[in-house]
Amino acid sequence: MANELPNFADVLAAAARIAPHAQVTPVLRSRSLDALVGAELHFKCENFQRVGAFKFRGACNAVWALTDDEAARGVVTHSSGNHGAALALAARTRDIRAHVVVPEGAVKSKLAAIEAYGATLHRCAPTMAARDAMAAQVQADTGARLVHPFTDPRVIAGQGTAALELLREVAALDAVFTPVGGGGLIGGTAIAVAGIAAQTRVLGAEPAGAADAYESLHRGERVTDLVPDTVCDGLRGTIGAINFDLLRRYNVEVLTVDDDETLAAMRLIWQRLKILVEPSGATVLAVLLRYRERFAGQRLGLILSGGNIDLDDLPV
């Protein structure tokens, strides 16, 4: 099903499939942030999702969509970030093997988290070619199914369940904002929103230093040669082909923000909502602060994608 676009039925199926395993995350509000932006903000807190990010939704859907025979051979991915941890935990919920290909030099604490969830690490040189070769090798050796972090249709459908929950809890939103990296979350969100609240717009927030989705939409073709430069480590991926198709089909608009705006927005979220979000997650508030007048008085949903900050970087 590699090139099939997932649809609303897939999102609904994903919601049913992951319900026994995933959290229904809370939607938080803040009077002071509403006042600051001049709009009514509803924050969908995926930092409270298992493994601390929405990524668990997609990984869990992919794992539980496998047949028993497929599942018996395990799953494999290449991600030393949230998707790697998410797939490891998702595999554990089904009691199957997960293999995670990680580049030499990846952050130790993240690797430790992936191993703690029971996955097998496979180290490779830090190049795309070495990574793909290692993943192919693992597939050949074990028969494991590759679960790509954002182009897998079942992953995309799973990510859409966050917006589904948000829209069922908060009616009549004018727009829903999500961060944009490889496009799994925004793609799934666009499908879910179109299915349940067609009048609600979907907007993406992308770091100016990794604005390949923004550029792709403006040029009308996928831009794959940008070199990302952003503190948002979750948003450095290049928009996938299937994801780009979804952005266009659902008329998604992408807005960009600078990293200093994103970090200021992150501080605001920490201070006012008393929750930890990672920089990637704060982009959605950052774009609203930048384009405040455009959204004044509207009722808006913001998906806070994750909360995995390395506290070793902080003096606490």
Least distance in angstroms from the C-beta of 90 to a second copy:
15
Cβ proximity of 55 and 307 under 8 Å: no
The β-bridge partners of 254 are 204
Q: Which is nearer to a second copy, 188 or 306 (CB)?
A: 306
Least distance in angstroms from the C-beta of 50 to a second copy:
8
153-182 residues near a second copy, rule: CB under 8 A: none
DSSP-assigned states of every residue in 187-231:
HHHHHHHHHH-TTSEEEEEEEGGG-HHHHHHHHTS---------S
Interaction mask 235-274, a second copy, x per CB under 8 A: ----------------------------x--xx--xx--x
Angle, in degrees to the nearest 10, between helices 184-196 and 8-18: 110
CA distance 259 to 245: 27
Stretch near a second copy under the rule CB under 8 A, chosen from 41-49, 176-184, 244-252, 290-298: 41-49
- Could you tell me which residues come within 8 angstroms of residue 100 by beta carbon, excluding any fewer than 6 positions away? 76, 77, 78, 79, 80, 84, 87, 88, 114, 119, 120, 121, 122
Q: Which is nearer to a second copy, 26 or 126 (CB)?
A: 26
Choosing from 6, 52, 183, 184, the residue that interacts with a second copy (CB under 8 A) is 52
Cβ proximity of 41 and 29 under 8 Å: yes
Q: Which is nearer to a second copy, 20 or 220 (CB)?
A: 20
CB count within 10 Å of CB 287 equals 26
Per DSSP, the three-state class of 232 is: coil
4-33 residues near a second copy, rule: CB under 8 A: 26, 28
Least distance in angstroms from the C-beta of 91 to a second copy:
16
Least distance in angstroms from the C-beta of 36 to a second copy:
12
Least distance in angstroms from the C-beta of 277 to a second copy:
8
Stretch near a second copy under the rule CB under 8 A, chosen from 141-149, 155-163, 288-296, 308-316: 308-316
Least distance in angstroms from the C-beta of 6 to a second copy:
28
Q: Which of 13, 54, 311, 32 is CA-nearest to residue 181?
A: 54
Give the tokens for residue 278. Answer: 């990672």
Asked if 95 is part of the footprint of a second copy (rule: CB under 8 A), the reply reads: no
Q: Which is nearer to a second copy, 48 or 177 (CB)?
A: 48
100, containing H or E segment: strand 98-103
192-211 residues near a second copy, rule: CB under 8 A: none
273-302 residues near a second copy, rule: CB under 8 A: 274-277
CB count within 10 Å of CB 241 equals 14
Stretch near a second copy under the rule CB under 8 A, chosen from 60-68, 149-157, 185-193, 305-313: 305-313
Asked if 35 is part of the footprint of a second copy (rule: CB under 8 A), the reply reads: no
Q: Which of 236, 225, 243, 276 is CA-nearest to residue 259?
A: 236
Q: Contacts with a second copy: how many residues (CB under 8 A)?
A: 21
Least distance in angstroms from the C-beta of 307 to a second copy:
4
Give the tokens for residue 107. Answer: 């952050």
Contacts with a second copy, residue ranges (CB under 8 A) = 26, 28, 45, 47-48, 52, 263, 266-267, 270-271, 274-277, 307, 311, 313-316
